[in-house]
Amino acid sequence: MAQAARDLDLHGTVLRRWIHEFGDSPDGAFPGKGLMQPEAVEVQRLRREIVKLKAERDILKCAGSGMTCWQKALPAACTRSNA
């Protein structure tokens, strides 16, 4: 393996990591061309959903406080002591 790494002008640990990744998931170890593993797609979708839910939560906080904080730069500015 050391000779192969030298031939490819790679560090040995990089080649070992690639071999390990390929062994764990032969079909998805090197997705390339923008393809993501299913777990990564799900994480990305959940992160987008979190951003959306936080925005909805902030809007509801503002509506409950009786102030128009969507016109302010920071949603937290609309919270009162009871929020």
Chain segment 15-24, per-residue pLDDT in tens:
888 888 777 7
> Is 79 a residue whose pLDDT tops 70?
no
CA 31 centroid distance within chain: 17
Q: How far apart are CA 18 and CA 66, in angstroms?
A: 56
Q: What is the pLDDT of residues 28-78, one digit of tens each?
A: 656 666 677 788 889 999 999 999 999 999 888 887 776 665 555 455 545
Q: Domain segments of the chain: what residues?
A: 2-78
What is the DSSP track for 4-38?
Answer: HHHHTT--HHHHHHHHHHHHH-TTTSS--TT---H
Cα distances from 11 to residues 19, 25, 30, 31, 44, in angstroms, run 13, 22, 18, 21, 31
